[in-house]
Chains A and B, each alone.
Chain A
């Protein structure tokens, strides 16, 4: 017999037990996913190149598992205990309960994980399970409404306790918001898709997780302390305030974006008001805890008391980080990751545990070990605090570095110690979860009931007068129904539909005619990008902020991304923004980077996607080719629109000052690595080296050029043309400055415009130290012979004076060598003559010239080198 009548009302103990077990199992799995995700920041190759356990898929599975698997089951377990007590009625049906249990866990959560790990997902925050799973979740939510709501309506709303209101609100609002957040971003495009997605990001937490967590807090505090809550009026004020303002917050996830500024400002203002309402809610809850002691004796009460504190902090933090002054520096950083962990692992998880423990203590014959749960509380408190403080500081450090003119990788390097602490904080957290399981599944049977007796407060129940049915409250069903749907509809209109209309008008007015859409292979690449969670590390939105413009280029216009269904804006920047990645790197660099990221970027924390290759970057599969084709398409539409397109869009945008920031960037793509020919560059003549050239070399250059500069780094064999052998050349200083500033077009050599001048000087010194070349003095006859051969065979490309400016030069992908600034050793020159230079237009000459002739021409071009000077 699994159903027990333990009180005047019937609680289905078997369903409480089943959902508790499912919640803890899901917690273990989802936490394991999260730990693997965090460890991959420290050990990027941890997954061994496996796509199934790659960073992106695990990240999808982690957040969905925490929200639906852990918290969803914990809330259901709590509701099976609380709803009968609140309504004094049994839930609708025990059989329905088991159907709901099966549907939630075996049709939604577990298949959702399997599908996401297999690569079937959607790249939307808090909506990563695919649409097929979403359909079952909506069905499960419907069943939950049928299971839990009728009791409330039969009991009447005029004397409904606040926990009941929250349960009602959560079930109704989630039913409305879930399909909106999961389906609408798929069918609308670009910025409109992002606007709806932003709504759901907040609704998932604000309309599903928060109300059910608050239902637990309002329930457990009086039930465990034996004192009524401080004020039911304040609790209702908070309830209606939260349900009105929570849905109006959504756009604050995309501040400084192309979404209409009025919607952004409205969401920012609503965020501030929400913070004030939370202060009312928390004040009421803290006053309700008076008399329970600073550290309540009852473990469930202890968990919910700390949950209240976490709720206050996370809400004030949320209200603050929505404000533009804060948002511009912390958005996309680990601050936000800390914030979401404080919400889900701090506030909601502590509330969920409090609810579970409270219900578990009251299960007949359940095992219970209070000491283990007390230890669980302390370990989890320490773990969550360390993690959140650590990530918050990390976010401030990252945001600060992004606002400075320093290389992107500096922020990655600076994050490592914080990422290590974050991973270490998993130790007390995991130990806390294990002890929670020990506390609930070991110990003496029935010990929970004894614990209640030992810890319960005074239990001074005031006499309650018979309910007087108020005239106004008789209309409560209508009022709540209209208000509930109305609040949601208002948020949909103000932050979804209306911005969508404005965006559509803007797109129609600013979009260039005959817009080139993605080709089929690029479209397939986009799906791979979405599937692997690339958008969760690389944003695709250059914000309307000077820092973003300086680092990435022109802010994203709505028309550029109109075909993105769903949007791929992203919420975190671990790697740089990729909005204008097309043409920034060479194809072979992209392949090498996907196959073995640290071969070309030694400091990178990107996971390897070797699974897209047949053993080598030289053998990309169709998936690698599609993905790289997609990457190369990013930013192309705006490039192709050209100055005419920019003028057209600028004219159509009228006097919108914010929108005109989209044209303030001097170059469309400001990526510091994008090769650039000509243009101004700063003079490094008077800059002193900071003397860390060898370290800079290891961190930035050794992957391609090798530790000793011989062009034999780990990635060298995969790049065509091969990285230069710096030991075999002498370089003019001005030439090195130019190459470092502009990169080398047609090769994998990027520009290094993000490096401070002193670092560039240090790198130049390191390069020049590698050279084993020495000047030689050939005899006049050799030079003369060489000059004749050069004039006959080489001037077309290398020019009459050897400056690489022959008449054919401009047609080559890789510019011919300028011998006045770069002198090969004799051996290097002979090698180039005999073998040619693969990947360039330099052909082998061994079949047309004999050794003496080749040596003469090499001596001749070596003699063109000028140690100093330049243009």
Chain B
């Protein structure tokens, strides 16, 4: 019985996590740094190439 409860809890937690990860709010928040970084890196390069 205990295995069933723990197993179900893990499964539900996994499903919730999957939904959370796919949710736009989460993705926007968690993936934001990669866009921010790319912008910073390109700004740096562009500044370096300015005449």
Contacts and interface: CB of A to CB of B under 8 A. Distances in A.
B35 A85 contact: no
A233 B30 contact: yes
Nearest to B26: A233
A445 interface: no
Nearest to A462: B35
B48 A223 contact: no
A774 B51 CA distance: 100
B8 interface: no
Contacts of B47: 6-8
A159 B31 CA distance: 9
Closest 5 CB pairs of A and B: A7-B47, A223-B41, A161-B37, A7-B44, A228-B34
10 contacts: A7-B43, A8-B43, A85-B40, A161-B36, A223-B42, A229-B34, A232-B30, A232-B31, A362-B45, A449-B48
A461 B48 contact: no
Given A85-B41, A459-B42, A6 B48 contact: yes
A163 interface: yes
Contact of A468 (B29, B33, B34): B29
A685 interface: no
Contacts of A453: 49
A86 B39 contact: no
A532 B43 CA distance: 53
Contacts of A465: 28, 32
B21 interface: yes
Nearest to A461: B39
Interface in B15-33: 21, 27-33
A461 B39 CA distance: 6
- Chain A interface size, under 10 / 10 to 19 / 20 to 34 / 35 or more: 35 or more
Contact of B41 (A222, A233, A449, A467): A222
Contacts of B29: 468, 470
Contacts of B38: 222-223, 226-228, 461
Given A449-B49, A461-B39, A232 B44 contact: no
Interface string A217-235: 0010011001111011101
A453 B28 CA distance: 30
A701 B10 CA distance: 69
A364 interface: yes
Contact of B31 (A160, A226, A231): A231
Contacts of B43: 7-8
Interface of A: 6-9, 85-86, 88, 159-163, 219, 222-223, 226-229, 231-233, 235-236, 362, 364, 449, 452-453, 456, 459, 461-462, 464-465, 467-468, 470
Contacts of A9: 44
Contacts of B31: 228, 231-233
Contacts of B33: 159-162, 232
Contacts of B37: 86, 161, 163, 222-223, 228
Given A161-B37, A461-B38, A233 B21 contact: yes
B37 to A, nearest CB: 4
Given A7-B45, A162-B33, A226-B42, 12 more contacts: A85-B40, A160-B33, A161-B33, A162-B34, A163-B37, A222-B37, A223-B38, A228-B31, A233-B30, A233-B31, A362-B48, A464-B35
B45 to A, nearest CB: 6
A236 B33 CA distance: 11
Contacts of A226: 38, 42
B48 A85 contact: no
B15 to A, nearest CB: 17
A159 B32 contact: yes
Given A6-B48, A7-B48, A233-B31, A464 B36 contact: yes
Contact of B40 (A86, A449, A456): A86
Contact of A222 (B21, B28, B34): B34
Nearest to A9: B44
Nearest to A4: B48
Contact of A362 (B21, B27, B32, B44): B44
A795 B48 CA distance: 99
A219 B40 CA distance: 11
Nearest to B41: A223
B39 to A, nearest CB: 5
A223 B39 CA distance: 9
A244 B41 CA distance: 29
Nearest to A229: B34
A461 B35 contact: yes
A153 to B, nearest CB: 16
Contacts of B21: 233
A467 B46 CA distance: 23
